[in-house]
Amino acid sequence: MPVGTAATVKALTVDQVAQTGADILLGNTYHLMLRPTAERIQRLGGLHRFMRWDKPILTDSGGFQVMSLSKIAKVTEESVTFQSHIDGSRHIMTPERSIEIQADLLGSDIVMQLDECVSWPAEERRAEDAMRLSARWAQRCKTAFGERDRQALFCIQQGSTFKALRQESADRLMEIGFDGYALGGLAVGEGHEAMCEVLDYAPAMLPADRPRYLMGVGKPIDLVEAVARGVDMFDCVLPTRSGRHGQAWTWEGAVNLKNARYAEDDSPLDPDSDCPASSHYSKAYLHHLVRSEEILGQVLLSWHNIAHFQALTAAMRAAISEGRFEAFRRDFKARQRIGNRGLPD
């Protein structure tokens, strides 16, 4: 899912995003409730109409941003009280208010429970307290959400890197029952190998007949390895953030267009791509745009990166349906190693 945190996928129009094959976007409750406010978006017809996106939208509850961005955050059993990172204004978020904002005011198609995400590394007792609070908040979110035909509610498994806590979290959430199950508390600094160690067991703890969503991940290799372990859905700001900083993701690895060796490289990033940014512009031109700090360079690289991530996930879906995913996985890793061998990108 391309990330449209503040009702926009940075540097791109929704038409460009849709052209990449994206069928769902992610918005963020924390940012939207602060600016322009969820109430204003509702008055203007809801989030879909506001940003002119007629496909599904998932909204993150904002719990992670409350912990990471707010100037001051205080968590109690009842709620989290925080100060806006924008103007210092004071806000109170309860599980019930999070559901109201997402489901009723924004009109999200997939609504995420409010949870408490701990930083990494976390002591086991701290991770346990946050996991159990998140489970109790999940029940409150489910009660507030009620029964809806056109909207879905996802819960969030927590437990940091502790297997027993992950299992307890999964058991508590499955007892309540949700439309989808997310894996939270990863991609917070633990690194690829540690994340994969958790993914070796955590997805299997969740129902196989419901979507399993790894939040905030990640690089192409992260996606491939997570899919190999049973994950279905992803979101990350990486494609557009990389594009704004001159980095393109390709089948052979990452390409840093700032590097001088691309100054006269007349080849495109991906000649086989349907995305114009990938196939119609040379690396030399993109290098020129990046080095000249032209806005068009950020647009084209962001567009290419989102198209590449969509192509990667489409290729994985095809490989799974044709029973050749393990071969795809091996080939992908081999191409990444060869493409990046000896290069400082």
- Please provide residue 247's backbone torsions phi and psi, each rounded to the nearest 5 degrees: -110, 135
| Angle CA 115–117–119, to nearest 5 | 170
- Please provide residue 152's backbone torsions phi and psi, each rounded to the nearest 5 degrees: -120, 150
Interacting residues of 197 by C-beta distance below 8 A, sequence separation 6+ = 161
SS3 assignment, position 226: helix
Catalytic residue among 129, 235, 274, 345: 235
Residue from 99, 91, 94, 47 nearest 69 by CA:
91
Q: Is the dihedral angle over the CA atoms 284, 286, 288, 291 positive or is it negative?
A: negative
Catalytic residue among 15, 60, 129, 209: 60
* Helix H or strand E encompassing 228: helix 220-228
Separation CA 313–CA 330 (nearest Å):
15
Is 109 tagged catalytic?
no
The per-residue DSSP string of 289-320 comes to HHHTT-HHHHHHHHHHHHHHHHHHHHHHHHHH
Interacting residues of 249 by C-beta distance below 8 A, sequence separation 6+ = 219, 220, 239, 242, 255, 305, 308, 309
Strand partners, 157: 183
Separation CA 99–CA 222 (nearest Å):
30
Is 60 tagged catalytic?
yes
Point out the residues that are catalytic: 60, 235
